[in-house]
Amino acid sequence: MFEAAELGRKISREDFDALAPALRTELLELQQQLRGADFPVIIVFAGVDGAGKNETVNLINEWMDPRWIETRAYGAASDEEAERPPFWRFWRDLPPKGKIGLFLSSWYHAPLIDRVQGRLTPAELDEALAPILRFEKTLADEGALILKFWMHLSQPAQKKRLKSLEKDPLTAWQVSETDWKHYEQYDKFLAAAERIIMQTSKGHAPWRIVEGADQRYRSAVVLETLKAAIGSHLAARSAARKVDAELRDESRDNGSAVTAALPPQPSILSSLDMTVALDPALYAQALQEQRARLALLYRRAIETRLSTVLVFEGWDAAGKGGTIRRLTNALNARDYQVIPIAAPTEEERAHHYLWRFWRHLARAGRVTVFDRSWYGRVLVERVEGFCSGEAWRRAYGEINDFEQQLTGHGIVLCKFWLHITAEEQLARFTARGEIDYKKWKLTEEDWRNREKWGLYEQAVNDMVERTSTHNAPWTLVEANSKPHARVKVMRTVADALEAALGAKKK
């Protein structure tokens, strides 16, 4: 695989000086166009130490407008980072649309080094690459341009390069003991790299192997590749948008067409017993009990650094707010955060739709409550046509993957759908209209959503079918009775927490 990058390719100073000015101008022009584009550019650098990763990153920053470039490199995880799922730090650093992100020692670094040093078997390496594949795929599916450069040096070339860096007092600092250690493990290093490149070179995120011995050659290859890729991605995205529009309502997985063709069927919501209620006399006591239980459990959760994420979805006026308040009453204000999810901000719109949820993940031991959530994509965005059919259908898998990263990190995740009947909603809307201090809660939009009850019901049904999993199950809450709903939610959270604390102790 690396033979083609050990050929002694080089460019003379004269040749380089001849091509540089035009290339530089073109790159700057493309960067201008990119600023108005609907995608980010993500560039990963990896490779043999001394093959010019850092120098190339510096050159890109020098030649292009650095205000639209973000450069990131990763060392050992910080405390902050270690308390979240491993990909949290990469998500938070993703460039927004229109910008270029340069990544050094990126998500490939740990798997590569772990394999070289024998901490991973080849099969475990593949396991470690799976989340990388999903990460890059979900970014590319949302439009990101992803390029990955493997900067290569033969072993003799690496030795020569490290020696020459060491000799010059100005560059000696660049050569660490780690570099020499890697040099000793050159063969293992290349074997691991070959496996990684083979597994992760995809059409939507290709690796490009660059011979790194000659500075001018490698610079020209990287920059010309960048130029060609940005140019053609701009063209491809504009063509793709046309087709998207054409195909918006077409899909092989057309659940609603099928449903419409059949006689009406019970949905997962219609199967709930909506007559359950809690005697008001018992309510106060039950609430008190669960609150005490939660308070106790949360003290232990904080001690053991067990985090909780709670998701609340439900019909308008189903009582999400009231339920969340009853629950958080049991907690210390510094230990929880309620994140109300409305339409995304401008900054959020410039990122992948999951980015705004990743950034809200709290540190270890905390409770994060999402009042509406990432499920917006398969609920409101689906029903209102805010995203393409392809996008919301794909979202089930992306959401499952996201939640697996949470639960895989040990986070307790509970998801609640607060269900009320259409009649109950009408009654609550009407009542709101009559009480002055509640009037503000009732908007035109609520009435419009109500007309789409059937579409939402289908969407909820599909959502539960696709995303209720063993580690991240949905709890459907009969919420015509607010007391019942509140106590059921609190008990479910307490049960989940108790189970997790028990499992943690063992």
Are the C-beta atoms of residues 504 and 304 closer than 8 Å to each other? yes
In angstroms, the CA 95 to CA 37 distance is 13
Q: Of the candidates 67, 75, 118, 258, which one interacts with its own copies according to CB under 8 A?
A: 258
Q: Of the candidates 112, 153, 209, 310, which one interacts with its own copies according to CB under 8 A?
A: 209
3-state helix, strand, coil in the chain (%, to 5): 60, 10, 30
Q: Of the candidates 61, 185, 267, 337, which one interacts with its own copies according to CB under 8 A?
A: 267
Q: Binding string, 51-70, against its own copies, x = CB under 8 A? A: --------------------
Measured from the CB atom, the residue of 252 and 334 that comes closer to its own copies is 252
Measured from the CB atom, the residue of 381 and 462 that comes closer to its own copies is 462
User: Nearest-CA neighbor of 336 among 470, 115, 493, 179?
Assistant: 493
Q: Which of positions 182-201 make contact with its own copies (CB under 8 A)?
A: 191, 194, 198, 201
Q: Of the candidates 328, 461, 481, 492, which one interacts with its own copies according to CB under 8 A?
A: 461
Question: Kind and range of the H or E element at 419?
Answer: strand 412-419
Distances (CA, A) of 154 to 9, 84, 166: 12, 38, 18
Q: Of the candidates 247, 282, 422, 503, which one interacts with its own copies according to CB under 8 A?
A: 247
Measured from the CB atom, the residue of 37 and 209 that comes closer to its own copies is 209
Q: Of the candidates 254, 285, 288, 430, which one interacts with its own copies according to CB under 8 A?
A: 254
Q: Binding string, 374-413, against its own copies, x = CB under 8 A? A: ----------------x--xx-xx--x---x---------
Q: Nearest approach, Cβ of 469 to its own copies (angstroms)?
A: 6
In angstroms, the CA 121 to CA 441 distance is 57
Q: Which of positions 97-136 make contact with its own copies (CB under 8 A)?
A: 123, 126-127, 130
* CA terminus-to-terminus distance, the chain: 47
Rg over alpha carbons for the chain, rounded to the nearest Å, is 27
> Which distant-in-sequence residues (6+ apart) come within 8 Å of 170 by Cβ?
none
Q: Is 12 an interacting residue with respect to its own copies (CB under 8 A)?
A: yes
Q: Hey, what are 399's tokens?
A: 């959401």
Measured from the CB atom, the residue of 67 and 242 that comes closer to its own copies is 242
Q: Which of positions 134-163 make contact with its own copies (CB under 8 A)?
A: 145, 147
Q: Is 466 an interacting residue with respect to its own copies (CB under 8 A)?
A: yes
In angstroms, the CA 395 to CA 374 distance is 9
Q: Is 236 an interacting residue with respect to its own copies (CB under 8 A)?
A: yes
Q: Is 17 an interacting residue with respect to its own copies (CB under 8 A)?
A: no
Q: Is 261 an interacting residue with respect to its own copies (CB under 8 A)?
A: yes
Q: Hey, what are 459's tokens?
A: 């969407």
Q: Is 352 an interacting residue with respect to its own copies (CB under 8 A)?
A: no
Choose the binding region for its own copies from 206-214, 280-288, 322-330, 346-354 (rule: CB under 8 A).
Answer: 206-214
Which amino acid does the sequence have at 219? S
Q: Is 13 an interacting residue with respect to its own copies (CB under 8 A)?
A: no
Q: Is 42 an interacting residue with respect to its own copies (CB under 8 A)?
A: no
Q: Which of positions 271-310 make contact with its own copies (CB under 8 A)?
A: 271
Distances (CA, A) of 385 to 319, 342, 378, 381, 392: 26, 16, 10, 6, 9
Q: Is 29 an interacting residue with respect to its own copies (CB under 8 A)?
A: no
Q: Nearest approach, Cβ of 231 to its own copies (angstroms)?
A: 9
User: Nearest-CA neighbor of 138 among 464, 396, 493, 407?
Assistant: 396
Q: Nearest approach, Cβ of 254 to its own copies (angstroms)?
A: 4
Measured from the CB atom, the residue of 265 and 275 that comes closer to its own copies is 265
Q: Is 21 an interacting residue with respect to its own copies (CB under 8 A)?
A: no
Are the C-beta atoms of residues 210 and 5 closer than 8 Å to each other? yes
Are the C-beta atoms of residues 28 and 65 closer than 8 Å to each other? yes
Q: Is 221 an interacting residue with respect to its own copies (CB under 8 A)?
A: yes
Collapse the DSSP code of 207 into the 3-class scheme (helix H, G, I; strand E, B; otherwise coil) and give the result: strand
Q: How many CB atoms lie within 10 A of CB 319?
A: 22
Q: Hey, what are 94's tokens?
A: 């993703």
Q: Hey, what are 375's tokens?
A: 């499920």
Distances (CA, A) of 58 to 55, 104, 391, 427: 5, 11, 36, 64
Choose the binding region for its own copies from 166-174, 262-270, 407-415, 497-505 (rule: CB under 8 A).
Answer: 262-270
Q: Nearest approach, Cβ of 116 to its own copies (angstroms)?
A: 15
Q: Nearest approach, Cβ of 203 to its own copies (angstroms)?
A: 5
Q: Nearest approach, Cβ of 17 to its own copies (angstroms)?
A: 12
Could you list the beta-strand ranges (E) of 224-355.
308-314, 336-340
